[in-house]
Amino acid sequence: MQIQSLRALTIEASLKLHYWRQQRQQHKQNIPICDQLIKATSVLICLPPEKIGVETVMNSVHGLRQIFPNAQIALLNSSKYSLADYIINDFSIIELDESHITKWGSLDKSSQALLFKHPFDIVIDLSKAFHYLNTLVACSSRAKLRIGFGHPKRNDYYNFVIRLRPNQNWKRSLATLYRYLSLGAPVYA
């Protein structure tokens, strides 16, 4: 029991350290969100850990292509569920799990090299509940725009937070996200 609580404290301290570093480097700069969405050339989508969330996202993944027609999109799968059942032609897939986190709560060197060999303009975390690995990846990336659903444990780490109603289902959650990201244009998810 004490080992698990020590791990939780290490993870919490690691996120605080990432937040502190971000604040020192960025000095709360204003980000033109519309310009960033339009000019994005590379986008990282962090898939949710829940099976229903992965299924819903993968069934509406063409909506992301409509929003970012010219961008390279990478999907980060940190769940236990395989994406082999889905036809994904123009998306790259990155598989990570909890074993890629060091004892100090950061990503190991090989994972950092794989994830960040090409910089991402936008990182979108699609987990509704707090998921440490997705939050860590969003914090570690040097993306100017980090988007996620609202949650008290991670709101400080994102610069665009989408608030959802409690117990909102996945389909409506993605529709809300797509409406914000498409800047008002209709997206057929």
Angle between helices 109-116 and 132-140 (to 10 degrees): 60
C-alpha to C-alpha distance for 104 and 13, rounded to whole angstroms: 9
Q: Which domains does the chain have, with CATH numbers?
A: 2-181 (3.40.50.2000)
C-alpha to C-alpha distance for 11 and 40, rounded to whole angstroms: 30
Q: Where are the beta strands (DSSP E) in 35-139?
A: 42-46, 72-77, 91-95, 122-125
pLDDT surpassing 90 at residue 27: no
Q: Convert the pLDDT of each residue in 142-165 to its tens digit.
A: 888 999 999 888 888 888 899 988
Q: Give me the percent of the chain exceeding a pLDDT of 90.
A: 16
Q: What is the mean pLDDT of residues 44-52?
A: 91
Instruction: Give the model's pLDDT for residue 131.
Output: 86
Instruction: Give the model's pLDDT for residue 1.
Output: 42
Q: Convert the pLDDT of each residue in 99-154 to its tens digit.
A: 777 777 778 888 888 888 888 999 999 999 888 888 888 888 888 899 999 988 88
